[in-house]
Amino acid sequence: MFMLINCSNCRNPLQLPQGARSIRCAICQAVTHVADPRALPPPSSHTPLFPSASQPTPPAPSPYGQAPRGPIPNAHGRKRAVICGISYRYSTHELKGCINDAKCMRYLLINKFKFPPDSIIMLTGCQPGDSLLFHYSGHGSRQRNYNGDEVDGYDETLCPLDFETQGMIVDDEINATIVRPLPHGVKLHAIIDACHSGTVLDLPFLCRMNRTGQYIWEDHRPRSGVWKGTSGGEAISFSGCDDDQTSADTSALSRITSTGAMTFCFIQAIERGHGNTYGGMLNSMRSAIRSTGSNDMGGGVVTSLLTMLLTGGSVSGGLKQEPQLTACEPFDVYSRPFSL
């Protein structure tokens, strides 16, 4: 059982577990102490979900923790992942493929990239050599940006299960929480299967690629000068579509059950051996989505897993979305090996 209280610093609503006497805010990292949780009044209905951008927020300690001193860590590091699949069941926003996406991504990480099963839970700390992964399959949206930090004038968002009452998670908050604190030697990959997700991590550079595979890196650094990169680590994101596009929840790819088109094509690219470089991954995913409707949509053991999952609906015609690649720094997408 949980009780809602307000963060003592940014006033963000927090879910206090029963019997707990303190809780750390995921937004500003401030610790709120309570004397008796049972006597706490509910937070004001007018409390904003996130602190105002005009209110200065003091520097927060890294949610990833500090690298421990002492012997050099294992050269291979640790592997940990957060996987989110939201179906919005029993609502008008229900999606059929997101839970399947989460199951298939977990299977891929364990069997292809050797992630320990018990490491696919949550991020609690990291050290040099660690490989982190965040996968999200669900609704995404966007809203008008008023501080001039977005090239297209919009902030991209993710929609948690309670977004209609508690609000959406804005790209600025995602960047501040999981991108900017990344320390040296730590690598984060984000796999975002949602509408309007092209720059949802607010990473400074976007790989603009045409249909022949030629590309340039677009500079998306805010004109305000706010740093949206890391603290020395590496952050790279594959997303389901451009910021002004929508992503499909469809059975047109697997022919068996509903999945997110982007998640399916990401897994398929790896299983077909197209995942040697980041450019190869991006080209393979885009080609698969463009060729929706052809008979050659088979995959390997992971995509075959879809036959064991829940059946769903279908869509007709091609999918109107183009997967995107963003990063904290530009690099040669055809020479850098892809690995998790």
Residue whose pair of structure tokens reads 């009780």 in the numeric block: 3
Yes or no: say if 140 and 159 are a contact pair by the CB < 8 Å rule: yes
Residues 6+ away with beta carbon under 8 Å from 81: 106, 109, 115, 119, 120, 132, 133, 134, 135
CA angle (112 as vertex; 111, 117 as ends), nearest 5 = 40
Catalytic annotation, pick one of 135, 139, 220, 274: 139
* First vs last C-alpha separation in the chain: 36
The runs of H, that is alpha helices, within the chain are 98-111, 163-166, 171-174, 261-271, 278-290, 301-304
Give the tokens for residue 23.
Answer: 């809780």
33 catalytic? Reply is no
- How many whole angstroms separate alpha carbon 44 and alpha carbon 130? 40
Yes or no: say if 103 and 121 are a contact pair by the CB < 8 Å rule: no
Catalytic annotation, pick one of 25, 159, 195, 241: 195
The runs of H, that is alpha helices, within 112-206 are 163-166, 171-174
* Residue type (1 letter), 174: I
Find, among 319, 320, 323, the residue nearest to 242 by Cα: 323
25 catalytic? Reply is no
Active-site positions?
139, 195
